[in-house]
Amino acid sequence: MEQRAELVVACRQWAQGPVPLRHTVLPGGGVMSVRTVCLGWHWQPYRYARTADDVNGARVAAFPDWLGDLGRAAVAEAYGDEDAAQAFAPDTALINFYDDTARMGMHQDKEERSSAPVVSLSIGARCVFRFGNTEGRGQPYTDVELASGDLFVFGGPSRFAFHGVPKVYTGTADPAAGLRVGRLNLTLRETGMASGDA
């Protein structure tokens, strides 16, 4: 996956607003250590909406066409299937920023009303990505190291697999991409929401 530096510039811009990067508050009161900003649709546990009602109430920035093209190119690369790639029509991106101490617990991406793949792009520090099973948070899982420029696609039987990020490696950032610290992860998704939904 090239274009890392351009993506970092774009993410910095999106982090400025209309909705700023925020630590998501979970319904149980927990606060995520990762900071997130969304495009197209705002994800909040556990639903999508056009406005960031748990942040500043603003409508999220539009999901740009060029990011959809990048998602289709990613599916083409992962599946080697041009038809599958053309069928992928992501309408939201969740942009996560991890500092060296941030983690993400095991979860499923299941707010989407679509079984289309989720395309995940990683930039910056290396991390341990824990890729589990569809039954629960525990074993069996596989720990994979994701590095700057890596592409990961959740599709088919793995679409609803539990996954998380138990560790980010300090001192492994990617200054060439414009990130001196931390890790950026973008997931491109189809929400399955109708454009008129609130």
Ligand X SMILES: O=C(O)CCC(=O)C(=O)O
**In the complex with ligand X, which residue's Cβ is closer, 83 or 111?**
111
Within its chain, how far is the Cα of 118 from the centroid?
Answer: 8
| Distances from the Cα of 70 to the Cα of 66, 112, 114, 136, 186, angstroms | 6, 20, 19, 31, 11
Residue with tokens 């592409």, as numbered in its chain: 151
Q: Can you tell me whether residue 128 is helix, strand or coil?
A: strand
Judged by the rule CB under 6 A, the positions of this chain that interact with ligand X are 94, 96, 104, 109, 120, 122, 129, 163, 165, 185, 187
DSSP 116-166: --EEEEEEES-EEEEE--SS-SSSS-EEEEE-TT-EEEE-GGGTT--EEEE
Does residue 109 interact with Fe ion by CB under 5 A?
yes
Give the residue closest to ligand X by C-beta.
185
**In the complex with ligand X, which residue's Cβ is closer, 44 or 185?**
185
**In the complex with ligand X, which residue's Cβ is closer, 81 or 113?**
113
Least distance from ligand X to the Cβ atom of residue 158, Å: 13
Least distance from ligand X to the Cβ atom of residue 71, Å: 15
**In the complex with ligand X, which residue's Cβ is closer, 81 or 136?**
136
119 contact, one of Fe ion, ligand X, none, CB 5-8 Å limit per kind: none
| Cis peptide upstream of residue 27 (ω within 30 degrees of 0) | no
The residues pairing with 98 across neighbouring beta strands, listed in sequence order, are 183
- Please compute Rg for the chain using Cα positions: 16
Residue with tokens 């909040």, as numbered in its chain: 44
Enumerate residues 113-142 that contact Fe ion by CB under 5 A: none
Least distance from ligand X to the Cβ atom of residue 184, Å: 9
**In the complex with ligand X, which residue's Cβ is closer, 36 or 72?**
36
Least distance from ligand X to the Cβ atom of residue 67, Å: 15
Binding site for Fe ion (CB under 5 A): 109
